[in-house]
Amino acid sequence: MAFKRALWHSGLTYKQTCNKCQTAIQYTDEKLDFRPWYADGFVYCPRCRTPLRHNESFAIDANGNYINTAPAPAPAPAVAAAPAAAEPIAEGATAYCKNCGRPYTVGDSHFCNGCGAKLD
């Protein structure tokens, strides 16, 4: 059983640039070479004969502007600077559990005696 390209044509014009020789190529879907493992087909660069994969995102209008381009994403909002990391508490100083507020001596244990939360 042989594979056949669909018999319909969109009538669109496509434009892409060859990755190898940087030649701009315009073509219609009638010029595509169908490959069963790549359903959209291939077009060949007329200058260096490199096969280029076709994609519908290469469609252009009469003015040469790409049709299927997504709108440019909005700029990301400015991210507030992260607060500076607190300096570590000195060994033997008194600190408080972040979970229950119980005081403990730094370096004596790794878990709170009141609630069992990790202290490090």
pTM over 0.75? The answer is: no
Burial class (CB in 10 A: 0-12, 13-18, 19+), 35: middle
For the chain, give every domain's residue range.
13-60, 89-120
Which residue type is seen at 67?
I
Whole-Å CA distances, 86 to 70, 83, 94, 117 = 44, 9, 15, 20
pLDDT category, 3, cuts 50, 70, 90? Answer: very low
Angle at 22 between CA 18 and CA 23, to 5 degrees: 75
Q: What is the mean pLDDT of residues 33-57?
A: 79
The pLDDT tens digits of the residues spanning 68-95 come to: 765 555 555 655 555 555 566 777 788 8
Per residue, what are the HEC states of 6-32? CCCCCCCEEEEECCCCCCEEEEEHHHC
Q: Taking the C-alpha atoms of 69, 72, 73 and 77 in order, what is their torsion angle to the nearest 10 degrees?
A: 180
pLDDT category, 1, cuts 50, 70, 90? Answer: very low
